[in-house]
Structures are given as C-alpha cells and as structure tokens.
Amino acid sequence: MRRLLFGLAALAVGPSVRPAGAQDTSAIDRGVRIGIVYRPGVRPGMVVLPVHSPALDSVRTIMSRDLDYSDRFELITLPGGDSIRVTAVAPGARPPAAGGTGRGTGGGAAAATTLNYPLYQALGADFAVAVTPAPGDSTVVTVHDVAAGGVRREVRARLPALKDPGFRLVVHQLADRVLDAALGVGGTAATRVLFVMEGKVYSIDQDGADQTLVSSSDHQAMSPAWAGDGRRFSYMEFWQGHGRLFVQEVGSGKRAPVATTGQALDFTPAFSPDGKTLAFSRATEEGTDLYTVNFKDGCCLQRLTVGRFYDNLSPTYSPDGQRIAFVSTRAGLPQIYAMAADGTDQQLFAPFDYGATGSSNAPEWSPDGQTVAFHRDVGGTLQVFVLDVRTRAVRQLTSVGRNEDPTWAPDSRHMAFVSDRSGYRQLWIIDVETGRIRPLLQKSGARLPAWSPRLPETASSTP
C-alpha cells in the first residue's frame, strides 16, 4: 500500500505562473488586509443602528459581524451612542420607497420615518440597518438607502429563542437578505464549514461560532463534502481497515452508508451538482482510482480511471456537472487533471514545470465555474493557488507559512484553508478580491475543510 499512503499524504504545492493581485506577502494579524493597495471608503458605508430591546442585542451583534465578514461594506461605528437615530426627518427627505418584502408594516416602517438621512450621509453611510421588534414574536429588519433617503427593503422573520439551535441560522439568513437588499448579491452568512480534527468531523458557522461534532464518536473520519442543496453531507469512516462512505442529513442527523463502499479504502467523496451521484477515490494494492455511484438508488457503480499502479484521487465536479477535476500521479508527482464526467477525455489541467513546480493536490472547483483552487509545493512548503479554467493561467494566493486544503464559499469570492502562519495549523478565511484574511478557528489541528452552500431555512444548527 505504499502508493496508497503516498496518495493520501501527498498534499503538496508549487510556484505560480504569475503572482496574484491579492497575494498575501506580509505578517498577519486578525482582520488585516494583505498584499494589496487598499483605499478605505471605496466600499459603501454601512451602519447597523443600535437596538432598544435587550432581546435583540444578540441579533444586532451577529448581523453586524456577518456584514463585516462579507467584505462588501465599510462598517461605521456611531459616535455618542444612539441619540442620533431618532432625530427628525430633514425637510425634503423622501418617504420610504416601495420595493421591499413586508414594507409598510409594523415598527420597521414607523422607525424609517424618523431617520435623519442627511446626518447619516455626513457620517459616510450609504446604508443603515434597523432591527426592531414587531407583534407576534416577529423581528423586522429595515434596510435604509441613505443616499436615496428612503427604505430599500423591509424583511420580517420569527426568531427562535436565543438558546434554540436554530437561532443563529435565522439571524445569518437575515444578514444575507440585508446584503441582497443593499447590493443585489448573495451572501455567505448562512453557511457552515465542515472540518476534521482529531479524527472526527466537526461543523462550525462561517463566523467561527457554534462548533459541533457531526460524525460518529466511535470511528475515525475524514474527507467531508457537502451536497449542493445544503441538506446533506458525506464523509469517510474507517471500519475494520476499510474506508466506508456515509451520507448524513443536516436537519435530522440521520446517516446511511453508501452502497458498494466499505470493502476497500474509499475516501474523498464529491457530490454531483444534481445530487444523485457520488464520485470518490478507491485505493487498492494496484493503486487508487476514481469511481461514481448512484447513492440514492444504491446502484450503478462506475469506474472512471484505470491507474495501473499510479494514483487518481480527490474528484471535484464543475458546477454544470459536465467535468471532474482530480489529482493524478501518472506524470510522476501528483498534478491536477480534468476529464468528462463519464471518465473520457482525461488531460492535464493545471500547467507545471519539472524542477520548478512541485506536487499539486486538493482541487476544488469554484461555484461560479471560473476557477479551480488547489495547493502546490513551493520550495518545500505548501501554498494555495487558483487556476483560471478558461485561460489555464495559474496564480498564487498565499505565501506566509504553510497553506493547504482550500475550499470555496458559495460566493466564489471567499475561501477557507488550513495554515500554520500563526505558529500552528488552524483554519483561516481569505477574501480573494481584497486579500483580507481572518482566522475561522484558532484551535490547532484542524484540516480538510469543506465550505457549505447557502443553507436552507429548514437546516438545523446542530446536525
């Protein structure tokens, strides 16, 4: 099994074809921006108004953090408390605008009529967000367009109790709706990251809270992967020397073994975009190859590669389901290849040069289909790279410490990865557009992260 061990352990990387625009080149502290020329103020200003209800203080705190972590706003801190919130509307200020869900109802619309828009403009705000209670145990979130002098949108939600497992998810979803109302883009607040630590799979919110064990406590586990609907995930567990794949429901926590797995070492599962097929790696004494199985019907095992004593592993589907990127050692060192989803048309995907470029591993296709992230050996240490699918150009994203196992957020803009830049291996998140980087989990030993799609409203916060 020497090649098997090499295939599982070869998580290495190589130098870039050209440097990244947001490459990280300096020492890191929490929340700093690195490797770019960043001008404060180029992003719209956002102020989250103070709340008058102690029960909503947690909502405001979580939402403010989510909007900050979106990297799309300059968060503005109000001077002198909340006294400016209820000053009278300036003459000529426009009334609340139509166009939002739930507009004109409850306390949110009433609060909008008392907002001093010129004052918030002077503070540099383009948007203001008010969180107010409403009848029927509901909460109203009002998004003010400060420049237009009116309400952009008003949304309403019924919050679970503060200690309810679903409380944080509902607040994260409200934050994503604020982002959509303000800028018309999808957020990543209502997402989670799976990761492996001490042989178990855990889940954590994208803001670093609510770490939860999700795999069995009786078996060693690895290789977590999300289904595209956010309602299921898969991972491998070791059973009597073999690797067995499981699919687990997020809401109920129920899990079931994947048919045809568990008789060999099966690992690195990947869901097809339609959610019907699971691609995975199978290691034997003759090498490691890629297979697919219809896990819903428990049938139709198909072999995609024939290694003949080399390794093919770590599949990742393109968003349209037409292609699979993967790792292969057929050229010697592990490199990134691609093929059609049926196993035909196998070819080198990420360019490399012997003597200048090292091993490449852990590919993941971005949700927008434009790039593939992976890590590569650079002078004996691992760094994160991205491959432009259209041009095949490769660029390096990281340079500080050892960085590996990248995984995309659903916005194709943020990426979680493992790094020892702080002195020990932990999870970090980088915004590839600005280079801002922050720790996700400051505990040591985390590895193999997998970022979820946007979670549906029925998903529980404790799988």
Residues 74 and 6 in one domain: no
Selection from 231, 232, 230, 46 nearest residue 152 by Cα? 46
pLDDT in tens, 349-381: 999 876 667 899 999 999 999 999 999 999 899
Residues 21 and 65 in one domain: no
pLDDT in tens, 180-215: 999 999 999 999 999 999 999 999 999 999 999 999
Q: Does 462 reside within a domain?
A: no
Q: Does 321 reside within a domain?
A: yes
What's the CA gap between 399 and 350, in Å, rounded?
A: 19
Residue 296 confidence (pLDDT): 80
Domain that holds residue 175: 45-183
Question: Both tokens of residue 245?
Answer: 């794949």
Residues 242 and 95 in one domain: no
Which residues, 6 or more positions from 404, have their beta carbon under 8 angstroms from its beta carbon?
11, 13, 361, 362, 375, 382, 384, 417, 418, 419
- Percent of the chain with pLDDT strictly greater than 90: 68
pLDDT in tens, 104-153: 333 444 444 478 999 999 999 999 999 999 887 789 999 999 999 999 99
Q: Does 399 reside within a domain?
A: yes
Residues 100 and 15 in one domain: no
Residues 63 and 157 in one domain: yes
Residues 174 and 312 in one domain: no
Residues 265 and 343 in one domain: yes
Residue 349 confidence (pLDDT): 97
In this predicted structure, the answer to whether residue 21 has a pLDDT above a threshold of 90 is no
Last residue of a domain, one of 183, 202, 219: 183
End-to-end CA distance of the chain: 35
Between 29 and 296, where is the model more confident?
A: 296
Q: Does 107 reside within a domain?
A: yes
Residue 33 confidence (pLDDT): 35
Q: Does 39 reside within a domain?
A: no
> Per-residue pLDDT averaged across 51-68, rounded?
92
CATH number of the structural domain spanning residue 408:
2.120.10.30
pLDDT in tens, 215-247: 988 899 999 999 999 999 999 999 988 999 999
Q: Does 461 reside within a domain?
A: no
What's the CA gap between 386 and 350, in Å, rounded?
A: 9
pTM of the model: 0.85
What's the CA gap between 144 and 125, in Å, rounded?
A: 10
Residues 233 and 366 in one domain: yes
Residues 349 and 434 in one domain: yes
Residues 194 and 177 in one domain: no
Last residue of a domain, one of 183, 205, 229: 183
Q: Does 121 reside within a domain?
A: yes
In this predicted structure, the answer to whether residue 404 has a pLDDT above a threshold of 70 is yes
Residues 170 and 292 in one domain: no
**Domains of the chain: total:** 2
pLDDT in tens, 293-322: 998 887 899 999 998 889 999 999 999 999
In this predicted structure, the answer to whether residue 16 has a pLDDT above a threshold of 70 is no
Residues 171 and 200 in one domain: no
Residue 107 confidence (pLDDT): 41
Q: Does 219 reside within a domain?
A: yes
Last residue of a domain, one of 149, 183, 217: 183
In this predicted structure, the answer to whether residue 282 has a pLDDT above a threshold of 90 is yes
What's the CA gap between 375 and 385, in Å, rounded?
A: 6
Residue 34 confidence (pLDDT): 33
Q: How confident is the model at residue 24 (pLDDT cuts 50, 70, 90)?
A: low
In this predicted structure, the answer to whether residue 265 has a pLDDT above a threshold of 90 is yes
CATH number of the structural domain spanning residue 156:
3.40.50.10070
Write the DSSP symbol of residue 219: S
Residue 84 confidence (pLDDT): 53
> Per-residue pLDDT averaged across 256-281, rounded?
95
3-class secondary structure, 96: coil
In this predicted structure, the answer to whether residue 40 has a pLDDT above a threshold of 80 is no
Mean pLDDT, all residues of the chain = 85
